[in-house]
C-alpha cells in the first residue's frame, strides 16, 4: 500500500497503521449498497448481474422461474401491441390475421397455460406490418422494453425444453414488489490492502406504491446506486399516464439527494439503457426537445465529444447526465428549527460528490467494468474518512 502525505514521524506512522488495521477489521463487515430509481430503470437487472459476476449464476429452479417470466413478457408484449391497433386506428396488413388478433385479445392471463396456438398467433401478428407500425409508435403507450427481444425469439421460447440463456434472463422483466437482498464477496486490490469485502445489495420496487418501503433499508447505507432509464425521455409513468418518466426520475433523485437519512451515503448514478437511448436518438424517432425544450440550447462540451459516436446521441446522454449533476451541486442546508438556549446550530450537510456512469445493465462486461469503479470508489471513501490518502 502506498500512502501520500503521511508524516514521516515514527510515532504518527504507528498511529496511522493502527487506524488502517482497525479500518480493515471493520471493513470485513458487509458494505451496504442500496439500488434506487423509478420503476423499470434496471435495478433488478443489476442484481442479476451481481449473481452472474460474483455468485454462481442461476440454479435450474431459477432458470425455470425465469422461463415463465419470459413467457409472461411475450404475452404482455403482444397483447399490448394488439390492443393498440384500435387505439391508434391502425389496420392489420394481412386480413387473415384477424383471427390471431381476436385470440390474443381474448386471453385471460390468470392461469394461462400457453398452448401451441398462442405462439402461432403471436408470430403471425408480430410479422404483420400493422403490428410493426404500432411498435414504431411505442412512445405513445406503455410497452415493456424487452418486448421486441422476446417477440423475435418466440420460435425458441415455445420449445418444451426451452432453457433461457443468460441474455434471456437479463432481458426478462418481473415487477419488484418487495425488498430483495443479495450478498456477495469481492476481492480487494492489493494496493488497498488485499483480502475481500462482503457486499449486501438491496433492490426495492420503483413504482410509487413501493417507495414507502424504501426507508426500511436506509440505515447504514454506505452507497446509493441510483438508476435512471435514459431512454424514457418520451414516455410517461404507468401510475398516472401523465408524468414524464425522465422527469419522475429527476424528482426522485432530488428527493433522495436531499434526504437526511442518506446525507452520509455516497451517490453513484447509473445512466442506464444507453443502447435503447442511442437507437431512439440516432433513428430520429423522437427528439428530447419535444419533452425538454431546454435541450435546444444545450451545448456539448469538448471533453464529452467522441469521434466514434453519433454527436446527437452524445448530446442527449450528456444533457440527461447534467440534469442529475446540477442537482448534486446544490448545497443542502439544514432544516431551520428552534434550538434551546445555549445550543449551537448544527453544521450544513457534508460536502458530497455525485459520480455518473453510462450503463447498459444487460451488458455484463459493461456492468463488470462499472462496478469495479464503484468498488474502488467505496474503498477510497472509507479510507478518506480516517484521513488516509491512497494513490
3-state secondary structure the chain: CCEECCCCCHHHHHHHHHHHHHHHHHHCCCEEEEEEECCCCCHHHHHHHHHHHHCCCCCHHHHHHHHHHHHHHHHHHHHHHHHHHHHCCCCCCCHHHHHHHHHHHCCCCCCCCCCHHHHHHHHHHHCCHHHHHHHHCHHHCCCCCCHHHHHCCHHHHCCCCCCCCHHHHHHCCCCCCCCEEEEEEEECCHHHCCCEEEEEEEECCCCHHHHHHHHHHCCCCCEEEEEEEHHHHHCECCCCCCCEHHHHHHHHHHHHHCCHHHCCCEEEEEEECHHHHHHHHHCCCCCHHHCCHHHHHCCCCHHHCCCCCCHHHHHHHHHHHHHHHHHHCCCCCCCCCCCCCCCCCCCCCCCCCEEEEECCCCCHHHHHHHHHHHHHHHHHHHHHHCCCEEC
285 marked as part of a ligand binding site: no
44 marked as part of a ligand binding site: yes
Considering the domain 60-171 in this protein, what is its CATH number?
A: 1.10.400.10
For position 346, what pLDDT does the model report?
A: 46
Mean pLDDT, all residues of the chain: 86
Same fold for the domain at 18-40+176-333+351-390 and the one at 60-171? no
40 marked as part of a ligand binding site: yes
Confidence of residue 207 (pLDDT cuts 50, 70, 90): low
Nearest C-alpha neighbor of 232 from the set 325, 133, 147, 143 = 143
Inter-residue contact 204 to 44 (CB < 8 Å): no
Q: Which whole number is the average pLDDT over 228-237? A: 94
210 marked as part of a ligand binding site: no
170 marked as part of a ligand binding site: yes
How far CA 356 is from CA of 267, 271, 353, 359, in Å, comes to 9, 7, 10, 9
For position 251, what pLDDT does the model report?
A: 95
43 marked as part of a ligand binding site: yes
Kindly give, in sequence order, each residue whose CB lies less than 8 Å from that of residue 178, ignoring residues fewer than 6 positions away. Answer: 205, 213
203 marked as part of a ligand binding site: yes
Per CATH, the homologous superfamily of domain 18-40+176-333+351-390 is P-loop containing nucleotide triphosphate hydrolases (3.40.50.300)
pTM confidence score: 0.84
If 0-12 CB within 10 Å is exposed, 13-18 middle and 19+ buried, where does residue 158 land? middle
Nearest C-alpha neighbor of 166 from the set 361, 358, 357, 33 = 361
198 marked as part of a ligand binding site: no
**Sheet containing 31-37: order of strands:** 180-187, 196-203, 31-37, 223-229, 266-272, 354-358
275 marked as part of a ligand binding site: yes
Lowest mean pLDDT among 210-224, 249-263, 274-288: 210-224
171 marked as part of a ligand binding site: yes
366 marked as part of a ligand binding site: no
Residue with cell 447534467: 322
Confidence of residue 211 (pLDDT cuts 50, 70, 90): low
For position 6, what pLDDT does the model report?
A: 47
- Reported residue count of the chain is 391
Inter-residue contact 291 to 246 (CB < 8 Å): yes
Inter-residue contact 173 to 69 (CB < 8 Å): yes
CA distance 40 to 230: 11
Inter-residue contact 355 to 267 (CB < 8 Å): yes
Inter-residue contact 70 to 381 (CB < 8 Å): no
Q: Which whole number is the average pLDDT over 287-313? A: 94
41 marked as part of a ligand binding site: yes
21 marked as part of a ligand binding site: no
26 marked as part of a ligand binding site: no
Any idea where the domains of the chain sit in the sequence? 18-40+176-333+351-390, 60-171
Q: Which whole number is the average pLDDT over 150-178? A: 93
- Helix 116-126 and helix 98-105, axial crossing angle in degrees, nearest 10: 120
The C-alpha cell that represents 68 in the structure block: 415463465
| pLDDT above 70: residue 209 | no
pLDDT greater at residue 22 or residue 212 = 212
Inter-residue contact 366 to 271 (CB < 8 Å): no
Inter-residue contact 157 to 70 (CB < 8 Å): yes
272 marked as part of a ligand binding site: yes
385 marked as part of a ligand binding site: no
| pLDDT above 60: residue 128 | yes
297 marked as part of a ligand binding site: no
pLDDT greater at residue 359 or residue 186 = 359
96 marked as part of a ligand binding site: no
42 marked as part of a ligand binding site: yes
pLDDT > 70: percent of the chain: 83
| Most confident stretch, 95-104, 209-218, 337-346 | 95-104
Lowest mean pLDDT among 95-104, 140-149, 234-243: 234-243
363 marked as part of a ligand binding site: no
| Most confident stretch, 7-16, 243-252, 326-335 | 243-252
For position 340, what pLDDT does the model report?
A: 41
Amino acid at each position: 500500500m502506498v500512502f501520500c502525505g503521511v508524516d514521516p514521524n515514527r510515532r504518527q506512522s504507528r498511529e496511522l497503521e493502527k487506524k488502517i488495521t482497525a479500518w480493515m477489521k471493520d471493513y470485513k463487515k458487509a458494505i451496504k449498497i442500496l439500488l434506487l430509481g423509478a420503476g423499470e430503470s434496471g435495478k433488478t437487472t443489476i442484481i442479476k448481474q451481481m449473481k452472474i459476476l460474483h455468485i454462481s449464476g442461476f440454479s435450474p429452479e431459477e432458470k425455470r422461474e425465469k422461463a415463465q417470466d419470459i413467457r409472461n413478457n411475450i404475452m404482455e408484449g403482444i397483447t399490448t401491441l394488439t390492443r393498440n391497433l384500435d387505439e391508434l386506428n391502425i389496420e392489420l396488413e394481412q386480413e387473415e390475421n384477424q383471427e390471431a388478433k381476436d385470440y390474443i385479445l381474448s386471453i385471460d392471463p390468470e392461469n394461462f397455460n400457453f398452448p401451441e396456438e398462442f405462439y402461432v398467433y403471436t408470430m403471425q401478428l408480430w410479422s404483420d406490418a400493422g403490428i410493426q407500425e404500432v411498435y414504431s409508435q411505442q412512445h405513445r403507450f406503455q410497452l415493456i422494453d424487452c418486448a421486441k427481444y422476446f417477440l423475435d425469439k418466440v420460435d425458441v421460447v415455445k420449445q418444451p425444453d426451452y432453457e433461457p440463456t443468460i441474455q434471456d434472463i437479463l432481458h426478462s422483466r418481473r415487477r419488484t414488489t418487495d425488498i430483495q437482498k443479495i450478498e456477495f464477496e469481492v476481492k480487494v486490490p492489493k494496493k488497498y490492502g488485499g483480502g475481500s469485502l462482503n457486499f449486501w445489495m438491496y433492490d426495492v420496487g420503483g413504482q410509487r406504491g413501493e417507495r414507502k418501503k424504501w426507508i426500511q433499508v436506509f440505515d447504514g447505507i454506505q452507497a446509493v446506486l441510483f438508476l435512471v432509464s435514459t431512454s424514457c425521455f418520451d414516455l410517461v409513468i404507468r401510475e398516472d399516464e401523465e408524468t414524464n418518466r425522465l422527469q419522475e426520475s429527476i424528482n426522485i433523485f432530488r428527493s433522495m439527494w436531499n434526504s437526511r437519512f442518506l446525507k452520509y451515503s455516497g451517490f453513484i448514478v447509473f445512466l442506464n439503457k444507453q443502447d435503447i437511448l442511442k437507437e431512439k436518438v440516432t433513428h430520429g424517432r423522437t427528439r428530447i426537445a419535444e419533452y425538454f425544450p431546454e435541450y435546444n440550447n444545450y451545448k456539448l462540451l469538448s471533453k464529452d465529444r467522441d469521434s466514434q459516436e453519433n454527436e446527437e446521441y452524445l448530446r442527449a446522454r450528456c444533457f440527461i447526465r447534467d440534469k442529475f449533476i446540477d442537482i448534486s451541486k446544490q448545497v443542502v442546508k439544514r432544516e431551520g428549527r428552534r434550538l434551546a438556549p445555549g445550543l449551537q446550530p448544527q453544521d450544513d450537510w457534508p460536502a458530497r460528490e455525485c459520480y455518473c456512469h453510462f450503463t447498459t445493465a444487460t451488458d455484463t462486461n459493461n456492468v463488470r467494468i462499472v462496478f469495479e469503479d464503484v468498488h474502488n470508489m467505496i474503498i477510497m471513501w472509507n479510507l478518506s474518512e480516517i484521513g488516509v490518502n491512497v494513490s
